[in-house]
Structures are given as C-alpha cells and as structure tokens.
Amino acid sequence: MHMRRMGAVLSIVALAGGLAACGGGGETYATVADKIAGGGTVVVGTKWDQPSLGLKMGNEPEGFDVDVAKAVLKEVNGGKDVTVEWKESASSNREPFLQNGTVDIIFATYSITEERKGKVSFGGPYVIAHQDIMVRKDDTSINTPQDLKGKKICKASGSNSYKRITDPPPDGELDIDATTVDAANYSECVQKLTGSNLDAVTTDDLILAGFAKQAGGNFKVLGQGFTDEKYGIGLKKGDTKTCEAVNKAVATLWSNGTMKTLLDKWFGGIQGLNLSSTAPPAEGCA
Amino acid sequence: MDELIKYAPDLGLGFLENVKLSIVAAVASLILGTILLAMRVSPTPVLRAAGTFYVNVVRNTPLTLVLAFSALGLSDQLGLVFSETPLTNSFWIVAMGLSVYTAAFVCEALRAGVNTVPMGQAEAARAIGLTFMQSLTMIILPQAFRAVVAPLGSVMIAMIKNTTVATAGGFLADAAAVMKITFDQTGASIPIFLGIVVAFMVLTMPIGFFTGWLSRRLAVVR
Amino acid sequence: MSTSVLFDAPGPRGRIRNHALTVISVIAVGAVLYAVYRGFDNKGQFEGKIWQPFLQWETWDFYIIPGLIGTLQAAAVAAVLALAFGAIFGLARLSDHAWIRVPAGVVVEVFRAIPLLLLIFFIFYLAPMVGGGGDYAFMAVVVGLMLYNGSVLAEVVRAGVHAVPRGQSEAAYAVGMRKNQVMRLVLLPQAVTSMMPAIVSQLVVLLKDTALGYIIAYVDLLNTGFKILPARFFGSLIPAAIVIGIIYVALNMALSYLATWLERRSRRSRKTAARPVAAPGAAEVGVAAGQGTEGGGLAPDKPLE
C-alpha cells in the first residue's frame, strides 16, 4: 500500500514541478540590451527551414541571418561572445513571439513594414533584399512579374510578399490578378512548386537564392527584383535601448567589412543576384 | 464578448467549413470502413492481410502526419489534384485524408460490434440448420448492428473534432485556423475560444445523446 | 483450414470458389500496389539521391533523433500528468459528496468535448498573457494533452471502479471497513488491473497527438523530420514522410502490443473480480490500440473462415 501512496505523492510532485518548470524564472531584465550586458542567455529567433539564411543543422541553425545575429550580439556586448539560445520563428509566429517574449530578438528575413511597426520595434535594416520570382526550370511562360496574371503564387502564412503582387500600393505594389495558394512557410512553398499546384514562389531574392541553390537546378530565379525589402532586427515594441545598440552594431559591421564578408560567404557567386555592398540607410528607433 | 461579436462572421464561416468537412468525411469513412471490414472478415487471406495492414498502419499514424502528407506529398509532389482552385483542392485533400484516417477507426468499431455477438448465437443458428448467409443476415448482423451504434457515434464525434487539424493539410479556412489568425490580432480571447467550443459541442453532443439513446433502445438484453 | 461455427468446411465447389477469390484479390491488391509504385516511380521517388540522406548518420543525429526526443519528452510528461489528472478527477467523480462529484464531472465532460487542437492553441496564446514572456509551445502541448487525455482517463478510472462487482464493496463494508478503506484496499487494487489495457491504449492516443505540436512549432519528430529535413535535403519530402511514419507506427504498435498483452494477462489473472474495461468511446480509444477484440465472440481478427 505504501508503494501506491508513494506513487500518488510522486505524481503530484511531478505535476507541481512540471508547472513550476514552465514558469521559466531566473533574473529578469528590462531590455534585451540589459540582458546582453548582464550576461543572460539571449533567445534569438531565426528561420530553421531556409537554406543559406537560417537552416537547422544539429543543435544550431546556420546561415546568413544566424551569422549576422551572432556578429551583432557580439558587437553589442563589446566584442565578447553572448550565450545564445536559438528558437525557430516562422513568419507566422514572429509578432506573437516578440509580443509574448518567447524570443528576445529576431533575425529572420524580417522586412520592415509600416503595418508590422505597429506591433514590434525594428532595429536595422542590416541588408536590403529585393522581391523576386522563382519558377520551375522548364517554365517559359513566366518571365516578368506581369506574367503572373492568372498564375498560382504561394502565400506563406505570415509573410507579406504575395501582397506586392496581388494588391495595389501602399501595402502591395503591382495589383495583378493572381491566385494565391496557402502554405505554412516558404519551404512548403518550394515543395509545392515541384508539382502543378503552384506556378511561382515570389519573395525576397535572398530567400529564393538559398532555395534555388539547395534544389540543385530544378528551379530558376528570374532576377527581376522589383521592391526593396529592408531586413530589420525584430524587437519587442518600445525597446528603444536595444534598438539603438543594434543599430550602432550594424553600422560598425558594415564599415569594418564583416557584412560584405558574410554576404559573400552565403550568397557569393549566385547568378542574377545583386548583393549590396554598402550599408542600407539606417532608420531611427523612435 | 465584443471580440466574439466582431469576429463572429469570420469564425462562423470557418466553422461551416468544419461542418462541411465532417459531412464529407462521415459518408466517405463509413463506406471505406465497411469495405475494410468486409476485407478483414473475408475468406481470402490476401484481402484480410491487406485490410489488417491498412488499419494497423493508419490508426497508429498521427492525423497531423496523414494530412500533411496528403497535402505536401500526394497533392504537391505526386500530382493528385482534385480542383484547379487552390482552396477547393485543399478542402478535398483534407477531406480525403480525414476519411482515410477515420475509416480505420470505423472498421474497428464495426469489428468490435460483431465481436459482441456471443459464440453461442452462431452455434445455435448452425444447430437449427441455417446456412452461412442465413445465420449472418438473420442472427449475427442484426445483433452486431445494435452494438455498433454507440462506438460508431464516438468515432464520428472524434472525427468532427479532428476536422480542426485541417490546418496541417494546408486548408487554412476552418474554425481552428480562423481562431489562430484572430488570436494573432487580439491575443487569446476567452469569449472567442468558448464560442467555438460551444459550436463544436452543439454539433457533437446531439450525436452522443442520439447514438447513446439508440443503442440503449436497441440493446439486446442478455 | 480450420472450421468456423458459421459454416461447414468448404466442399470441392466452395474450395474452388475460395481459390478463385484469392487469385482475384491477389491481382487486385497487386494492381493497387503497382499503381502506387508507378505513381512514385514516375515522379522519381525511388531515386537513390533522395533516399541517400537517410543513410547518413548526420540526418539522424541532426534531425530525426532530436525530434524523436522532443516527441517522447512531451509524451512522457503529458502521460504522467494525465494519469494524475485522471486519478484525481476519476475518484472525485465517484465521491459521495455532490459538491465534489458535480464540478469534477463538468470538468471531465467539457475537456473531453473540446477539440484538442483548439485547446492547445488557446493555451499557447493565453499562457504568455498570464505568465509573462517565455516559450510556451512545450507547455501548451503538454497541458492540452493532460487535460484531454486526463479527462478520458478519469472516465476509465470511474468505469474501472464500477466494473468491480458490487458484492466486493458490500463484503468490505460488512467486515467493517470505512469508505476510504473500501476504495483503497478493495476497489482500486482490483480496478487498476482491469483498467490497465484501456490506460495503455489511451497513452497510444496521447503519443500520437503530440504531433499536433507541429502546428504550434513545437520541436517534435514531425517538425524536424517533415519540415526542416526536406528543406535541408531537397526532394526528400516523401522519403522523410515514410521514414518518420514508420517510426510513429513502430512506437505505437509497440505500445499497442503492450496493451494487448496486459489485457490477456489481466483476463487470465484471478486477482480481480472485475472485467477489463474499455475507455469511453471505445472505438476511439480502447479499440484504437488494437485490443478488446480478441476476447470472445466471433473475433473476425481470427477471421471467419
């Protein structure tokens, strides 16, 4: 009988322990900058399924965004390494993750837009990408963005890229009558592009370049960048202190050539991709 | 409460998709499940093995995987396309995945029903000289059917609740998907959550009561 | 060919008919398999290139094993919590006091009726508003699984206690035991034995449902194996689905066999007067783990032959 009672007690302890463990804990910091200065573990959100930008390899993701994150955090910490915990932040989760504090800071192909500025704060931009179009290699019917009329394009959950095609300004750009196909993320879009359910994936050239490289010649990127996507560093709304710190770090990384090196490392030698070699104009932290 | 009222039209449309999915999957899974049962009790070993294999594989695979595979694997990669309109296509893909999944459970419920008929009934039927078909149609199936009503009701209720997993099959128009999109705007809203929950209960509870009542009414007194 | 109670051993004509049926069904099943094979082959799904990753240790080390650990972690924690929840609420529903019995009954019925994914979504969005910032994917999955499966298990506990013949508790009261003694010393020990199969098969359901975590980006087997892995190895989506499908099926089948074995053992055992119980909605639950059908009756699992 004692054993049985023990079991019941243990399960209740487990229950309490489980709930307490979920509460998190440890020290709390007012801003991410304070957390970095205080030596806390910074939770960094990146993509985990985008080759060359953020792709999970073992315990850590790797890619351009990941390297930029490491470099920026190190710069903010005065050249010392920062303990980082990586967390997957899909397009659809980026705003809630920042608002909820699931992650401290996001480097995940996160374009700065007016709409998003209402929900989160942006540091950067650290690089400028251009929206482009990727189609199947043998598809000759799509050569310019205008050819997308009546075609099926991918609408990745939480991403704005499709609006640039289908909507008029200010949110959109081209106002073309294309059909959208829902997908959870861009890696799903690329999977769909293999079959006939999708005609084109349209999003930032850096993302497409990574996938095209991975897919080994099955797809082609048109090389017709038609927007400027300013990749920002996602922060919790109102965290001006961290925003200013990362902006300074980004400026330094551009002036000492680190950014150029990283861009070449991940995207060097890809045809039709125009890599910027100068720092994008900084936006304020107001 | 204001939030629920504000988003009610969207949520209602989403819930309607769950209802439509439920109806399609109910019909398809009952048909497919009955075929599977027939395979599993057939005198042909090959069919029995095929039926058993199907049921064991499908009911041990998570529905999330079944739906994600139907969408990304079968439809996108292997070219199984029901409709040129993306939303309609994903509706049918999800309906197909859900039916294929539920059919395994329908088959099990039917089989469990046949098992409730005691051996003595069949023996008695044989003893008075009934043929196989006669004992099946006059003795076994009438009793089995009564025992199947309640478990089948449970399978259907589970299936209706499972329509919320449609998201995994790329069908982002059902109540769960709409709720998530709404929560992205409003944060967690208790009225919205309760509203959808109540809607599901309105759909499932009558089925539970009805099948429970029917099985009690039809119950074979032993 | 064994004889069934339903018909005599087939005569010459019956045998010919059965053989003919066998041949036809072999052809039919073969045709289906061939069609599937051709469908896959036409799309190049048997090319070595896309299966190659699964021969590399890195694939398992980086993606499949961490995902599997995530799945098992969520399942294990949720199972312990659900068992505790089920025990507490199951017993509460058996209470003689209406003020305990009724609320417990409401909780159990409500959480059984809510679609699990909605519950997980809700917890996922509600938790940060209540508990401040943090990563709640694991918690949302675990708590959702606990509430739903715990509620089902509460019903199993109730059914298990009810399955003990009334004479047992009457006898216990007659020898002067108090209420809690009757429950603790007489009813529960017998009930636990008869509940075991239903509990294990509910745990299979729980393990399968951890895959819902995929939708809120919990790092489980489905997430690493079906989303990240195909992004890393382009074209390997279908092989990935097949590999992780086999892992899920193997895990669940192992648990199911445990359930069947436990059931057989408990039926043989003389230690309990209670019959094995099926979970409520047996078709969804008890039968789900491939048990409950080998007992008696006409057991088509041992086919009608």
Using CB atoms, pick whichever of B78, B116, B119 lies closest to residue C5. B119
Instruction: Tell whether C160 and C280 lie within a shared domain.
Output: yes
Q: What is the ipTM of this complex?
A: 0.88
pLDDT at A18: 47
Instruction: Tell whether C21 and C132 lie within a shared domain.
Output: no
Bridge partners, A231 (sequence order): A111, A127
For chain B, list the domains and their CATH numbers. 19-173 (1.10.3720.10)
Mean pLDDT of the region B68-72: 88
Instruction: Tell whether C81 and C123 lie within a shared domain.
Output: yes
pLDDT at A246: 86
Instruction: Tell whether C204 and C167 lie within a shared domain.
Output: yes
Q: Rounded to an integer, what distance in angstroms lies between the CA atom of residue A216 and that of residue A109?
A: 22
Instruction: Tell whether C21 and C62 lie within a shared domain.
Output: no
Out of A223-227, B6-10, C243-247, pick the least confident: A223-227
Shortest CA gap A89–chain B (Å): 14
Task: Please tell me what DSSP assigns to residue C94.
Answer: T
Q: Rounded to an integer, what distance in angstroms lies between the CA atom of residue C253 and that of residue B104?
A: 15
Mean pLDDT of the region C279-291: 39
Do strands A84-88 and A152-156 pair parallel, antiparallel, or not at all (unpaired)?
unpaired
**At CA B13, angle to CA B9 and CA B15, rounded to 5?**
115
Which positions ≥6 away from A6 have C-beta within 8 Å? none
Residues of chain C found within 8 Å of residue B164, distances taken between Cβ atoms: 115-118
Q: How many CA atoms lie within 13 A of A12 on its CB side?
A: 7
Assigned CATH for A131-221? 3.40.190.10
Residues of chain B found within 8 Å of residue A197, distances taken between Cβ atoms: 75-76, 81, 86, 89
Q: Rounded to an integer, what distance in angstroms lies between the CA atom of residue A255 and that of residue A259?
A: 8
**At CA B63, angle to CA B58 and CA B67, rounded to 5?**
100
Which carries the bigger pLDDT value, residue C293 or residue B30? B30
Mean pLDDT of the region B136-146: 81
Per-residue burial over C270-303, b = 16 or more CB atoms within 10 Å of its CB, e = otherwise: eebebebbbbbbbbbbbbbbbbbbeeebbbbeeb
Using CB atoms, pick whichever of A92, A180, A195 lies closest to residue B77. A195
Residues of chain A with CATH 3.40.190.10: 32-128+230-267, 131-221
- Distance of CA B170 to CAs A94, B159, B173, C115, Å? 20, 18, 9, 18
Write out residues in chain A with pLDDT < 50, as ranges. 1-26
Pairwise CB contact (< 8 Å): C80 & A51: no
Instruction: Tell whether C59 and C150 lie within a shared domain.
Output: yes
Pairwise CB contact (< 8 Å): A181 & B171: no
Residues of chain C found within 8 Å of residue A14, distances taken between Cβ atoms: 80-81, 84
- Distance of CA A143 to CAs A222, A269, B59, Å? 7, 22, 46
**Predicted confidence band of residue C276 (pLDDT cuts 50, 70, 90):** low
Assigned CATH for A32-128+230-267? 3.40.190.10
pLDDT at B15: 93
pLDDT at B94: 93
Pairwise CB contact (< 8 Å): C125 & A194: no
Query: Which domain CATH number covers C204?
Result: 1.10.3720.10
Taking the Cβ of residue C248 and every Cβ of chain B, the question of whether any pair is shorter than 8 Å is answered with: yes
Using CB atoms, pick whichever of A11, A88, A100 lies closest to residue C83. A11
User: What's the structural domain count of chain C?
Assistant: 2
Q: How many CA atoms lie within 13 A of A215 on its CB side?
A: 24
Taking the Cβ of residue B70 and every Cβ of chain A, the question of whether any pair is shorter than 8 Å is answered with: no
pLDDT tens column, C42-55? 877 777 777 888 88
Q: Specify the 3-state DSSP secondary structure of A224.
A: coil
Whether C134 and A102 have beta carbons less than 8 Å apart is answered as yes
Q: Is C137 inside any structural domain?
A: yes
User: Residues in chain B, how many?
Assistant: 222
Reply yes or no on whether the pLDDT at B19 is more than 90.
yes
pLDDT at C305: 31
Instruction: Tell whether C42 and C62 lie within a shared domain.
Output: no
Q: Which stretch of DSSP H or E encloses residue C229?
A: helix C229-232
Using CB atoms, pick whichever of C121, C248, C285 lies closest to residue B65. C248
Mean pLDDT of the region C3-29: 77
pLDDT tens column, B28-66? 999 999 889 888 877 778 888 899 999 999 989 999 999
Query: Which amino acid, one-letter code, is at B112?
Result: A
Instruction: Tell whether C158 and C31 lie within a shared domain.
Output: no
Q: Specify the 3-state DSSP secondary structure of A223.
A: coil
Reply yes or no on whether the pLDDT at B177 is more than 80.
yes
Q: Rounded to an integer, what distance in angstroms lies between the CA atom of residue A8 and that of residue C63?
A: 36
pLDDT at C289: 34
Instruction: Tell whether C173 and C228 lie within a shared domain.
Output: yes
Q: How many CA atoms lie within 13 A of C252 on its CB side?
A: 30
Q: Rounded to an integer, what distance in angstroms lies between the CA atom of residue B58 and that of residue B49?
A: 14
Pairwise CB contact (< 8 Å): B41 & C290: no
Instruction: Tell whether C39 and C108 lie within a shared domain.
Output: no
Mapped to the 3 state alphabet, what secondary structure does A155-221 carry? EECCCCHHHHHHCCCCCCCCCCCCEEEEECCHHHHHHHHCCCCCCEEEEEHHHHHHHHHHCCCCEEE
Closest of C124, C125, C142, C146 to residue C70, by C-alpha: C142
Shortest CA gap A43–chain C (Å): 10
Mean pLDDT, chain C, integer: 81
Most confident of B68-72, C60-64, C85-89: C85-89
Tokens of B35: 């075929």
Pairwise CB contact (< 8 Å): B155 & C209: no
Report chain C's terminal Cα–Cα distance, integer Å: 8
Reply yes or no on whether the pLDDT at C28 is more than 60.
yes
Whether A197 and B89 have beta carbons less than 8 Å apart is answered as yes
Q: Rounded to an integer, what distance in angstroms lies between the CA atom of residue A43 and that of residue A73?
A: 11
Residues of chain B found within 8 Å of residue C75, distances taken between Cβ atoms: none
**Predicted confidence band of residue B220 (pLDDT cuts 50, 70, 90):** low
Report CA torsion sign: C225, C226, C230, C235. positive
**Predicted confidence band of residue B129 (pLDDT cuts 50, 70, 90):** confident
Instruction: Tell whether C37 and C181 lie within a shared domain.
Output: no
- Distance of CA C35 to CAs B2, C28, C39, C49, C199, Å? 54, 11, 6, 22, 40
Pairwise CB contact (< 8 Å): A152 & B86: yes
Which positions ≥6 away from B16 have C-beta within 8 Å? none
pLDDT at A250: 86
Q: Is C32 inside any structural domain?
A: yes
pLDDT at A225: 80
Mean pLDDT of the region C177-204: 86
Shortest CA gap A254–chain B (Å): 35
pLDDT at B104: 93
Per-residue burial over C8-29, b = 16 or more CB atoms within 10 Å of its CB, e = otherwise: eebeeeeeeebeeebeebeeeb
Tokens of B121: 């009934």
pLDDT at C274: 67
Reply yes or no on whether the pLDDT at C59 is more than 70.
yes
Bridge partners, A132 (sequence order): A203
Pairwise CB contact (< 8 Å): C81 & A50: no
Q: Rounded to an integer, what distance in angstroms lies between the CA atom of residue C250 and that of residue C242?
A: 12
Tokens of C152: 């089902």
Which positions ≥6 away from B167 have C-beta within 8 Å? B174, B176, B177, B180, C117, C215
Range of the domain at C141: 54-289
pLDDT at B2: 76
**Predicted confidence band of residue C297 (pLDDT cuts 50, 70, 90):** very low
Residue with tokens 């009222």: B5
Instruction: Tell whether C41 and C168 lie within a shared domain.
Output: no
Residue with tokens 């995987």: B65
C-alpha B148 chain-centroid distance: 14
| Long-range Cβ contacts of A73-82 (<8 Å, 24+ apart) | A73/A36, A73/A42, A73/A44, A73/A105, A73/A249, A75/A248, A75/A249, A75/A252, A75/A253, A76/A33, A76/A36, A76/A242, A76/A245, A76/A246, A76/A248, A76/A249, A77/A36, A77/A37, A82/A36, A82/A42
pTM of the model: 0.83
Residues 168-207, chain C, touching B (beta carbon < 8 A): 204
Tokens of C288: 């789900």
Q: Rounded to an integer, what distance in angstroms lies between the CA atom of residue A133 and that of residue C177?
A: 79
pLDDT tens column, B89-114? 889 999 999 999 999 999 988 888 87
Question: A interface toward C at CB cutoff 8 Å?
Answer: 1, 4, 8, 11-12, 14-15, 18, 22-24, 43, 48-51, 55-59, 87-88, 90, 93, 96, 99-103, 184-185, 187-188, 190-191, 194, 211, 214-216, 218
